[in-house]
């Protein structure tokens, strides 16, 4: 999977799964609520990435109240993109298969300027405050 963003500043926020407790309650809602702060710092789009299929991703975005085109819920089918950059998570022992890890990335004109994966199950380096600090 190739992602290119010429002349754009993009934030990619990756989560292990849509509709999961941490992702739905703590991780993604602040990005939706504070989208204007991101835009003021020059962010063109926020991509919310998960290994779920596109239909689940779309339903999750609607359930969280994401409106417009500033936040796009994207499917990372089979965690192909996340695996290609070394940021996948094998949850096969739990019956979930390979998923994208919890991470955040800032891509400015096709250059990765921030890329941090959570060391545990908390939302710290991939949360909105860390991303805003690094824009």
Q: Which residues are known to be catalytic?
A: 23
- Spatial distance between the Cα atoms of 24 and 59, rounded to a whole number of angstroms: 12
Would you say 108 and 21 are in contact if contact means Cβ atoms under 8 Å apart?
Answer: no
Cross-strand pairs, 46: 11, 71
* 4 Cα distance to chain centroid: 16
Would you say 101 and 16 are in contact if contact means Cβ atoms under 8 Å apart?
Answer: yes
The alpha helices in 1-112, defined as continuous H runs, are 21-22, 29-33, 35-40, 54-63, 80-84
Which residues have C-beta within 8 Å of that of residue 135, sequence separation ≥ 6?
A: 9, 38, 41, 42, 43, 106
């Amino acid at each position: 999977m190739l992602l290119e963003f010429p002349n754009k500043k993009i934030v990619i926020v990756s989560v292990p799964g849509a509709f999961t407790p941490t992702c739905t309650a703590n991780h993604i809602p602040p990005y939706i609520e504070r989208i204007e702060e991101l835009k003021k710092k020059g962010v063109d789009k926020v991509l919310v990435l998960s290994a779920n299929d596109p239909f689940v991703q779309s339903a999750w975005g609607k359930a969280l109240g994401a409106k417009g085109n500033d936040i796009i819920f994207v499917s990372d089918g089979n965690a192909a993109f996340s695996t290609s950059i070394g940021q996948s998570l094998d949850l096969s022992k739990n019956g979930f298969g390979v998923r994208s890890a919890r991470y955040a990335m800032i891509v400015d004109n096709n250059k990765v300027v921030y890329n941090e994966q959570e060391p545990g199950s908390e939302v710290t380096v991939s949360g909105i405050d860390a991303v805003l600090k690094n824009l």
